[in-house]
Amino acid sequence: MKNKINLYLIEYAINAILRQKAKSFFIVFVFTLLTFLLTSVFFITSSLKYELDATVDSLPQIIVQKIKAGRHYDIDEDVVDTLLGIEGVEDAVARVWGYYYFANAGVNFSVVGLNEYEKQYKNSFEKIVKKIELEKDDKSFMVVGRGVQKVMNKSYYKEYFNFIKPDGTLKKVNLGGVFDADTELESNDVIVMSKDSAREIFDMDEDKATDVVLKVANPKEVRTIVSKIKSIYPDTRIITSDDLKVSYQNIFDYKSGIFLALFIVSLFTFFIIIYDKSSGLSSEEKREIGILKAIGWRVDDVLKEKFYESFIISFFAYTLGVGLAFVFVYMFQAPLLQNIFVGYSQLKTDFELPFVFDFQTLFLVFFLSVPIYIGATIIPSWKVATLEADEVIR
């Protein structure tokens, strides 16, 4: 029975919190703000990390680009036959793609050209060519990402879109469907159409391609195949999936450095509050403990009451902060904090953070806040409670 929760002590703790409304409100406000800030950034990083990892895994193993004077140029499609002859290369596809700037909305679209008879280098593209005919009855059709669809709808392009070609003429492409991929980063700003339509929009010759992507049978042979390609085509730049992973990780680490500074400032602020709390009790709190001891309270009763008091404040603030972070990140899409990672550029379509529930984040924030605050409350209370009642009151 001794270990049973004392409801009277909990009631007294709640009343003690209510008696010190201004102080309690300040602690809850600061505690909630710090919890909200840290949890929000953790949620954003978890969501973006998930999207980046999934996107990188779907990228080609090897990308071959033609380089002139340090700039990227169109590559001959005939290169595909030569690359297929290299031992270890399982498949090679010439890609036609590029960025199209839609001035009316101030965004860039990623236009990708596909041929229905070719083997696609992405499963999502394979699904598109099976479901939708990109060329039918002398009409061109396209499949767009959800971000592209939103931008076009705002500009009243709901059934078709007019692309402006380099010579100033228009290329009308009808909307054939919406592109759904495994990750939003992969499909958000993408427009898929036939290769002929893409070449026409970018004024590209029929025998040219943007680059060539390779699939390798044995991933351990990627470096060997890269060296063979380089010896055959010294004027090419070869990018592997590992290179892209490193590049993405470097960008993410740089952005995370900004978060780290924010994280340190938040923790520093929190521990200043903890230090002030643990350095000693106010004269009013000491007098209260002395009176409680004088009327018969034991040391463990005082400590239990202080535990309940600190736990109610800290856990309430923690729960409130985490709840607000959920709403801020996954309902409102973290309008300010998200820009730390994805940038402030307007040359992009809207991106929605995917919901990723990370228990480790919740546990980390909890153990960095609630137990520490409880300890900072109980330790000075214990020091006072072990003194004689008359000594404390005086």
Please report the DSSP string for 303-339 in residue order: HHHHHHHHHHHHHHHHHHHHHHHHIIIIIS--TTTHH
Residue partners of 363: CB distance under 8 A and separation at least 6: none
pLDDT at 194 > cutoff 80? yes
The CA distance from 228 to 222, in Å, is 10
pLDDT in tens, 195-253: 999 999 999 999 999 999 999 988 889 999 999 999 999 999 999 988 877 776 666 66
- Other CB atoms within a 10 A radius of the CB of residue 66 amount to 20
Q: Given this model, what pLDDT does residue 324 score?
A: 95
Q: What does each C-alpha distance from 202 to 65, 139, 165, 244, 362 come to in angstroms? A: 17, 18, 7, 25, 48
Closest CA to 341 of 130, 121, 43: 43
| Domain positions in the chain | 7-55+247-393, 75-209
More confident call, 184 vs 165:
165
Cβ pair 298, 2 in contact under 8 A: no
Please state, in angstroms and as integers, the Cα–Cα distance from residue 265 to each residue in 34, 42, 128, 365, following that order. 10, 15, 48, 15
Residue 288: what pLDDT? 81
Sign of CA dihedral 48, 54, 55, 59: positive
| Burial per residue of 88-103, b for 16 or more beta-carbon CB atoms within 10 angstroms, e otherwise | ebebbbbbbbbebebe
- The model's confidence at residue 147, banded by pLDDT at 50, 70 and 90, is confident
List, for residues 9-47, the tens digit of each pLDDT value: 889 888 988 988 888 898 899 889 888 988 888 888 888
Q: What sign does the CA torsion over 53, 55, 57, 61 have?
A: negative
Average pLDDT over residues 290-295: 82
| Residue listed under structure tokens 């450095």 | 257
- Give the Cα-Cα-Cα angle 278, 370, 280 (nearest 5 degrees): 10
Within 13 A of 278's CA, how many CA atoms are on the CB side? 12
Q: Per-residue pLDDT for 345 more than 50?
A: no
**368-374 long-range Cβ contacts below 8 angstroms, 24+ apart:** 368/38, 368/267, 368/270, 369/31, 369/34, 369/35, 369/270, 369/314, 369/318, 370/311, 370/314, 370/315, 370/318, 372/274, 373/31, 373/274, 373/277, 373/310, 373/313, 373/314, 374/307, 374/310, 374/311, 374/314
93, 63 in Cβ contact below 8 A? no
Amino acid, res. 209? A
- Across the range 370-394, mean pLDDT stands at 78
E strands of the chain, at which residues? Answer: 62-68, 71-73, 75-76, 89-102, 107-114, 135-136, 139-145, 160-164, 170-179, 190-194, 208-209, 211-216, 236-240
- Kindly state the tokens that stand for 169: 């003429």
Q: Write the CB contacts of 364 (distance below 8 Å, at least 6 apart in sequence).
A: 42
Higher pLDDT pick, 346 / 64: 64
With bands split at pLDDT 50, 70 and 90, how would you rate the model's confidence at 76? very high
Q: 135-136 and 170-179: which strand pairing?
A: unpaired
Q: What is the pTM of this model?
A: 0.69
Question: Does the pLDDT value for residue 170 go beyond 60?
Answer: yes
